[in-house]
Structure 1
Amino acid sequence: MVVLENHNADAIIGAPDAPYLTSLADQGAVFTNAHAITHPSQPNYLALFSGDTQGITDDSCPHSSAAANLGSELTAAQLSFAGYSEDLPGTGYTGCFPGQYDRNHAPWVDFTNLPGSVNLPYTQFPPDPERLPTLSFVIPNLCHDMHNCDVATGDSWLHTNIAGYLAWARAHNSMLVITFDESDDSPSNRIATMVLGPMVVAGQYGEYVDHYRMLRTLEQMYRLPALGHSAQTAPVTDVWTH
């Protein structure tokens, strides 16, 4: 799963500055009625990762929680998890805002039931995707996630860094999810969200999807307990080939 930043859906899919993301949308399942939970950024990452905003309503840092989350549930099921953050100074680093890294975009750092070893610099993303954990998050830096830089810059970074994994995924029954933390402060908070892989039926899907429903879908895939508000929604079931 790749999480990008702060753009409305119509500024991404079909936009002239996002040719790569637009091409991916043509190849995968696109949720045209996808929404973030709230504003600003940090609560959305927590919602996606743990099924709850954990009482956080702003982008302050640091925070700490012992609540169950996607990483801890995968571990309990003897599956593996890692978050790869671009410009993270080192494995297990817990600082907030050094350079272009932003801890608010790496929610696993906030949870005391996860070891520091799951918090990895993007430089450790394996060249051979066979070595990836069961489920991974990729968090570009503040420029490449489109927070501080323009859409074209982020789109180009994705093409350079994700295209190789996607080609591998199509041959190895793996899946790529691309979503955004939130829109650009719009009340509707509609975001671009898509899934790609050999198990996906390409097309546009108009059903309501938010971060809680995306989490519920991942939980269903790995037969994990439904966390927090994800228990109040159903997993996505209509985009799969089997």
Structure 2
Amino acid sequence: MRSLLLVGTVVAFASTAYAAIAQSFVPPAASPESSSANYTGQTNGTISNGPVVQGKSFDRFIQIWIENTDFATAASSPVFQSLSKQGLLLDSFYALTHPSEPNYIAAVGGDFFGSADDDFYHIPQNISSVVDLLEAKNISWASYQENMPYDGFTGFNFTEKDYLTGNGTYTYYVRKHNGLIIFDSVTNVTDRALRVRNFNDFANDVKADVIPQWNFITPNLVNDGHDTTIDFVGDWLNFWLIPLLNETKFNNNRTIILLTFDENETYTINNRIYTLVLGGGVPEKLRGTTDSTFYTHYSALSSVEANWGLQSLGRGDTNATLNNVFEFVANATGWKNNGISGNSSSIPLLNITGTIPGPLNVQFYTPFTAPNTSAVGAGGQGVFAAQGLNTSLTAASLPAPANLTAQGQANPWGVDPGINYANGTKVIESPTASSTAPGGGGGGGKNAAIGARAGAEAALFVGLGIICGVAMVF
């Protein structure tokens, strides 16, 4: 496990052999395009997409996230070495913080809102995500989550039969690795929630040639390396990704595939992660080369915004230090990056966790505030403003952060709002206090009194119009 270190006022973590479990890879399905009982979730109808919206550099963007691996460890993998010859290595790509969940939130929402753990959270409906930007331009999207039990599942995790050993059960799916499902603006809208799909749907969608234009793909806890090793990940990539690279229904000459990690494993060093750009859309002259421009998870947002001329979220995606657009996309769109690269002293410390204020930080709690509506994004189209957005509530107008734990209060955004799609339609159950224990999902982790108080606080904050993301502090 990870042990806590206190260095001045910075909370960091030292990592040991957290992800190394001696297991042998077992293919979860006959092929990447095959349905499987190991995925649990039923195969639903194929996804429905509108006409392809042409981008300036690519027409399809696919993110695949692996877990908790230092740059040097990934670089030592023969599979990653082989893949790097086919694509573009981004060797100065950084995650934003620790642990996992805040990085997944930031990658789709432009901010991690102070989050410093992997607990159950939901983010209010008037906070925007990349989905709002994509839908404003009629760009199709989906998230595919391995071993998620059904489309739109909002639970904390899911435990099922252990297909690796055939004995007992295993928790293969976790909410913390599914960034979009944390946003109420996705889960509270049926058409959006059901675009967060399981891997049986993925197999069906590939065969039907309907993979959308923007995709976020998360393998399960063994295939992503969280509970295993980089060699296990390599076996999964050989089984799943490498065959798909030769499948034009997944990867055509206008497809970009970003293979990256959520964070590094060693918390005491800066958060550099091995990242590859693959796919037929990578310019031929760049294949087998290295780009040392400083990138972060926000770069995936800003690059998508630049490619399709989208609005921005007015958060980390417009932070001039952190939002460099992938250089080949910047060249195609006319965006100018900040010039930070390699081992520049201008690269901020991105391994800091626990001390950044925000609405998802119980120790340094602040309400949600408005994004920077005057920010300049890579798409050149201004900042997306959710309906009813109170743009006057800014970070500068907030009081000092509060320690809710010291006040005997729970985080109001840790209450499961009870949205359920088990039958393919939205059902609202009674909100419950969240759970961080293994089992089906939100509910039962805290006592009823705390849950009721947190729910009341959440309703109060929404009623006051306290909305949208906290400013980043570095």
Given the two structures, how large is their TM-score scaled by the length of structure 1? Answer: 0.92
CA distance in 2, matches of 1:239, 1:29: 13
Name the aligned partner's letter for residue 270 of structure 2: S
Partner of residue 140, structure 1: 219
Deviation at 1:190, TM superposition (A): 0.8
Greater RCO, 1 or 2 (C-alpha within 8 Å, sep 6+): 1
> What pairs up with 1:184-195 in 2 under 5 angstroms?
184-186=265-267, 187-195=269-277
The worse-fitting range, judged by mean Cα deviation, of 50-59 and 173-182 is 50-59
> What pairs up with 1:2-81 in 2 under 5 angstroms?
2-13=64-75, 15=76, 18-66=77-125, 67-81=127-141
- After superposition, the CA RMSD in angstroms is 1.8
Partner of residue 177, structure 1: 258
Residue by residue over 1:209-237, the C-alpha shift from the partner in whole angstroms, topping out at 9 and shown as x without a partner, is: 11112221122112222221111233122
Q: 1:116 to 1:191 in 2, by over 3 A?
A: same
Partner of residue 177, structure 2: 105
CA distance in 1, matches of 2:116, 2:74: 26
CA distance in 2, matches of 1:127, 1:160: 16
4+ residue runs over 3 A deviation: 169-172, 238-242
CA distance in 2, matches of 1:241, 1:26: 22
Partner of residue 198, structure 1: 280
Name the aligned partner's letter for residue 173 of structure 1: R
Partner of residue 230, structure 1: 317
CA distance in 1, matches of 2:104, 2:258: 14
Question: Paired residues, what number?
Answer: 239
Partner of residue 215, structure 1: 301
Structure with bigger gyration radius? 2
8 Å CA contact 1:7, 1:183 repeated in 2: yes
Name the aligned partner's letter for residue 157 of structure 1: W
Comparing both structures, which one devotes a greater share of its residues to helix?
Answer: 1
CA distance in 2, matches of 1:71, 1:142: 25
CA distance in 1, matches of 2:229, 2:216: 22
Partner of residue 160, structure 1: 239
Residue by residue over 1:60-116, the C-alpha shift from the partner in whole angstroms, topping out at 9 and shown as x without a partner, is: 113233321112221222111111111101011110111210111101101122221
Q: 1:197 to 1:240 in 2, by over 3 A?
A: farther
Query: Percent of counterpart pairs with the same letter?
Result: 28
Deviation at 1:241, TM superposition (A): 8.8
Name the aligned partner's letter for residue 195 of structure 1: V
8 Å CA contact 2:300, 2:325 repeated in 1: yes
Name the aligned partner's letter for residue 73 of structure 1: L
Structure 1, unmatched stretches of 5+, are none
The worse-fitting range, judged by mean Cα deviation, of 164-173 and 183-192 is 164-173
Q: 1:171 to 1:236 in 2, by over 3 A?
A: closer
2:198 aligns with one of 98, 103, 121: 121
Name the aligned partner's letter for residue 195 of structure 2: V
Q: 1:219 to 1:239 in 2, by over 3 A?
A: closer
CA distance in 1, matches of 2:153, 2:121: 12
CA distance in 2, matches of 1:178, 1:96: 25
Name the aligned partner's letter for residue 177 of structure 2: H
Deviation at 1:181, TM superposition (A): 0.4
Structure 1 residue matching 2:142: 3-state secondary structure:
strand
Deviation at 1:55, TM superposition (A): 3.1
CA distance in 1, matches of 2:106, 2:193: 20
CA distance in 1, matches of 2:251, 2:199: 22
CA distance in 2, matches of 1:33, 1:199: 21
Structure 2, unmatched stretches of 5+, are 1-62, 159-170, 187-191, 333-474
1:86 aligns with one of 146, 149, 168: 146
8 Å CA contact 1:166, 1:176 repeated in 2: no
